[in-house]
């Protein structure tokens, strides 16, 4: 796997690339970095040209001036433009001539960013996968809870907040059988600054409803849904599945919000539909 960096708004943005063929961008969610896709990378690298960024403020990437959902979507487009200029030799000739068509895979907040990118560049998108994510805006109740969380972070720090949040993202059964992996994910959250986590929550609060993107999509949309998901409830996920003209629906019966780890093999095979 190749490590890459670009400069964006005077900040360093890190991403990885591996594989060959059609470009697929894997966008991680809140309180994660690109490593969250490790199971998918190992499987999909033989099928696609994978681009795996660390979002601004996550992993090895620095915070940028515009940390809105739309601002982070622009970072992804900048990475794509960089890849286009490089003309990777392992891409097909048609891709090298434009790299105009790509697929997006977004987990949770990464799905919100994917939808913002789809809104700006609908003609360049060949497929979209929402992994435990939603096109709906936050409810007023959820916005209020996020504001309370911001106050908690200011008083107690990001790590104390993220520790509780991350543990709750997994199903109880999977957590009890994979306690070491859960703790590893919790420990990785120590790298997040208060500023980054607060700005992510402000971005989540202000994001608009983007169900129109799903209704007007001319490309296939893949939905990967956890039956025990508390962050994006099952009922809400199912409500959006009927919006696109072409939808592929995958329900993970033993997962909460982290199907990439909880039921990795099912997620891997679901993402083969990006072809």
The CATH number assigned to the domain holding 24 equals 3.40.50.1820
Residue where the block lists tokens 């000739």: 93
Could you tell me if residue 72 is inside a domain? Answer: yes
Residue where the block lists tokens 């601002």: 71
Q: Residue 158's pLDDT is what? A: 97
Write down the pTM of the prediction.
0.94
Q: Residue 135's pLDDT is what? A: 98
Is residue 178's pLDDT more than 90?
yes
Mean pLDDT of 245-272: 98
CA dihedral 64, 70, 75, 81 (to 10 degrees): -150
DSSP string, 122-184: GGGEEEEEEES--SSPPPHHHHHHHHHHHHHHHHH-HHHHHHHHHHTTS-HHHHHH-HHHHHH
Could you tell me if residue 173 is inside a domain? Answer: no
Q: Residue 95's pLDDT is what? A: 42
Q: Residue 100's pLDDT is what? A: 61
* C-alpha distance across the termini of the chain, in Å: 21
Could you tell me if residue 35 is inside a domain? Answer: yes
| Domain range enclosing 26 | 2-138+208-274
Mean pLDDT of 71-84: 93
pLDDT in tens, 181-238: 999 999 999 999 999 999 999 999 999 999 999 999 999 999 999 999 999 999 999 9
Rounded distance between C-alpha atoms, residue 237 and residue 219, angstroms: 19
Mean pLDDT of 77-92: 70
Rounded distance between C-alpha atoms, residue 103 and residue 219, angstroms: 10
Rounded distance between C-alpha atoms, residue 24 and residue 39, angstroms: 15
Strand partners, 11: 8
Could you tell me if residue 148 is inside a domain? Answer: no
Q: Residue 86's pLDDT is what? A: 61
Q: Residue 275's pLDDT is what? A: 79
For residue 101, what pLDDT band results from cuts at 50, 70 and 90?
A: confident
Helix, strand, coil in percent for the chain, rounding step 5:
50, 20, 35
Could you tell me if residue 191 is inside a domain? Answer: no
Rounded distance between C-alpha atoms, residue 182 and residue 5, angstroms: 28
High-pLDDT (> 70) share of the chain, %: 94
Could you tell me if residue 34 is inside a domain? Answer: yes
Question: Is the Cβ–Cβ distance between 213 and 135 less than 8 Å?
Answer: yes
Question: Is the Cβ–Cβ distance between 14 and 59 less than 8 Å?
Answer: yes
Average pLDDT of the chain, as a whole number: 94
Could you tell me if residue 80 is inside a domain? Answer: yes
Domain count, the chain: 1
Q: Residue 70's pLDDT is what? A: 98
Could you tell me if residue 118 is inside a domain? Answer: yes
């Amino acid at each position: 796997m190749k490590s890459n960096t670009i400069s964006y708004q005077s900040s360093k943005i890190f991403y990885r690339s591996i594989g060959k063929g059609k470009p697929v961008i894997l966008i991680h969610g809140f309180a994660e970095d690109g490593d969250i896709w490790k199971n998918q990378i190992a499987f999909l690298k033989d099928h696609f040209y994978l681009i795996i960024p660390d979002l601004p403020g996550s992993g090895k990437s620095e915070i940028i001036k515009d940390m809105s959902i739309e601002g982070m979507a622009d970072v992804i487009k900048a990475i794509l433009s960089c890849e286009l200029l490089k003309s990777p030799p392992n891409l097909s000739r048609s891709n090298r001539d434009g790299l105009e068509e790509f697929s997006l895979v977004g987990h949770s907040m990464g799905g919100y960013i994917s939808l913002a990118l789809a809104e700006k560049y609908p003609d360049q998108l060949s497929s979209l996968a929402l992994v435990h994510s939603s096109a709906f805006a936050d409810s007023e109740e959820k916005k209020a809870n996020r504001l309370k969380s911001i106050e908690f972070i200011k008083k107690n720090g990001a790590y104390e907040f993220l520790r509780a949040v991350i543990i709750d993202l997994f199903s109880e059964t999977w957590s009890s059988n994979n306690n070491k992996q859960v703790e590893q994910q919790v420990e990785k959250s120590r790298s997040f600054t208060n500023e980054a986590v607060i700005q992510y929550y402000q971005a989540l609060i202000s994001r608009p409803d983007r169900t129109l993107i799903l209704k007007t999509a001319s490309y296939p949309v893949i939905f990967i849904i956890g039956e025990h998901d508390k962050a994006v409830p099952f009922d809400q996920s199912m409500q959006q599945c009927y919006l696109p003209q072409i939808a592929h629906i995958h329900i993970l019966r033993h997962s909460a919000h982290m199907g990439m780890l909880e039921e990795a093999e099912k997620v891997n095979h679901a993402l083969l539909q990006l072809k």
